[in-house]
Amino acid sequence: MSKINQPIPPQTFEIITVDILNILLTEFAAQSDDLLKSVKFYFERISPIDKVNIPAVVVRYVGSRNRVSGRLEQNLTNIYAIDCYTSSKVTDSSDSDITSSKDLQRIMGAIRWILMFSGYFRLDFAAPIIESTVITSIEVSDQRDVRDTETTMWGRVTFEVNAVEGSEEVATGVLESYQTLVTLFETDKGYEWLSEKTS
């Protein structure tokens, strides 16, 4: 006989993935920079990114490390990979690798700035669910795809969130924008997230 007489709520590490995506989507859409406004966002996508979908950002949950455990709660370090893709056409008058690299750095720099912005210290969660957030690495791959007269590059921002997971239901306090400003659009290769301004 089941001892749990209520629906099991989403865990904090699940909600954080969506919250990161929503924050980046909202802030990129609010920028005047054409590159940032053109970025497509994907949730947990693992299929290859087509050039027609670039520039793109994929937010994925990687895993968690246990820091402190109690009877009713755990303090976890949750790890998220934010993968970025850029591409530029090869022409006689341009250096596509330089353009693609600059675009990639621009996108990754914007992600770093947004997630480290003091207003997002707790990622829109109510205290004390989120204890701290930090970007632990920013990496650019050495591999460059130059097929089809284009240079495609990718990089990764690794983001860690120290958060509390409870065995009882806890109100996370996610902002209303989590529900109202984003549309989940299912494609044949993954889930693309669009703001109402772009949908």
**Whole-prediction pTM value?**
0.78
**Assigned token pair, 44:** 């947990």
User: For residue 4, is it within any domain?
Assistant: no
Domain housing 105: 12-181
Cα–Cα distance between 43 and 58 in angstroms, integer? 6
Q: Is 5 inside a domain boundary?
A: no
Has residue 2 been placed in a domain? no
Q: Is residue 189 in a domain?
A: no
Residue 146 in any domain: the answer is yes
Work out the mean pLDDT of the chain and round it to a whole number.
81
Residue whose C-alpha is closest to residue 29's, from 110, 85, 99:
110
Count of H-run helices and E-run strands, the chain: 4, 7
Cis peptide before 9 (omega within 30 of 0): no
The pLDDT value recorded for residue 93 is: 53
The candidate with the shortest Cα–Cα distance to 38, out of 79, 87, 76, is 87
Residue (of 54, 81, 62) closest to 153 by Cα position: 54
Q: Is residue 90 part of a domain?
A: yes
- Whether 104 is in a domain gets the answer yes
How many domains does the structure of the chain reveal? 1
What is the number of other CB atoms lying within 10 angstroms of the CB of residue 71? Answer: 5
Q: How many CA atoms lie within 13 A of 91 on its CB side?
A: 7
Q: Which tens digits make up the pLDDT trace of 118-175?
A: 999 989 887 788 999 999 999 998 655 555 556 788 899 999 999 998 765 545 555 4
Cα–Cα distance measured from residue 177 to residue 124, given in angstroms and rounded to the nearest whole number: 10
pLDDT at 19 over 90: yes
**What CATH number does residue 152 fall under?**
3.30.70.1700
The confidence band for 79, taking pLDDT boundaries of 50, 70 and 90, is very high
Q: Which pLDDT does position 33 carry in this prediction?
A: 93
Could you tell me if residue 133 is inside a domain?
Answer: yes
Residue 137 structure tokens:
């690495």
Mean pLDDT to the nearest integer, 170-182? 48
